[in-house]
Amino acid sequence: MEIKGTGAVVFGGASGLGEATVRRLAAEGASVVIADLNEQRAQEIAAEVGGTAVRTDVLDEASVQAAVEAAATAPRGLRVSVVCAGLGTPAKLLGRGGPTALDTFDTVIRVNLLGTINALRLAAAAIAGNEPDDEGERGVCVQTASIAAYDGQIGQVAYAASKGGVVGLTLPVARELAAQAIRVVTIAPGLFETPMLAGLPQHVQDELGETVPYPARLGRPAEYADLVEHIVTNRMLNGEVIRLDGALRMAPR
């Protein structure tokens, strides 16, 4: 699908993987909506790329719908949705004083899984109303999982479970939306230079990068954006989860 002239919404677009995706899609000619809780940063990025910022909580239907509607005003309508919003709060099943509070797991799972479903369902509903392009396609929805869905580490109970849920919904949703000519693809990144890792000391980031077989470094957000661009333009990519991890398989700890 051609990117130029399309409307795109990137949930979690004000930082990390989402910000890189916003910049890439805008550079390719899309009208991009940056949907993020951090409205100030979203507005700064929007001013730089000629996009639109909408304060969005992926668990709030009204704010997600507002972002979707803003993207649908593009000349060719909303045709690209990318969900990068998520939390990575670590917590073991059992803490020093006994079972970890259920709310700790609830928050991560709600944001990462239910938030993704909320954004996906509302974006898909808007995309389904598009006129098909010259090859019959209406749009594409890209979700973000994690390799933690496959080899989650100790302390990633909720995170791994939530990302496993995103992996699990990819094929059934792709099968469902095929009738509307909407593709659904999920990216499962490995260790990337994102805000989740930015707070770690540099030597720790370097050590983590060295665990990646090749290239032996942390992934760059632009490399995630490269894959989003390819997914959008390659019509045969559908119903798939793509690991983007340099062949990394994470150790238990």
Q: Are 83 and 67 in contact (CB under 8 A)?
A: no
Query: What pLDDT digit, counting tens, does each position of 29-51 carry?
Result: 999 999 999 999 999 999 999 99
Q: What is the pLDDT of residue 201?
A: 84
pLDDT the model gives residue 106 = 96
Q: Cβ-count burial of 59 within 10 angstroms (0-12 exposed, 13-18 middle, 19+ buried)?
A: middle
Q: Where are the beta strands (DSSP E) in 56-199?
A: 78-83, 94-95, 98-99, 139-144, 182-189
Q: Domain coordinates of the chain in residue numbers?
A: 7-243
pLDDT the model gives residue 3: 96
Q: How far apart, in whole angstroms, are the C-alpha atoms of residue 41 and residue 48? A: 11
Overall fold of domain 7-243: Rossmann fold (3.40.50)
Which residue numbers in the chain have pLDDT < 50?
none
What pLDDT is recorded for position 158? 97
Task: Give the pLDDT confidence score for residue 194 in this predicted structure.
Answer: 85
Whether 159 is catalytic: yes
Q: What pLDDT shows up at residue 207?
A: 87
In this prediction the pTM is 0.96
In the prediction, which pLDDT does 58 show?
98
Out of 150, 159, 214, 224, the active site residue is: 159
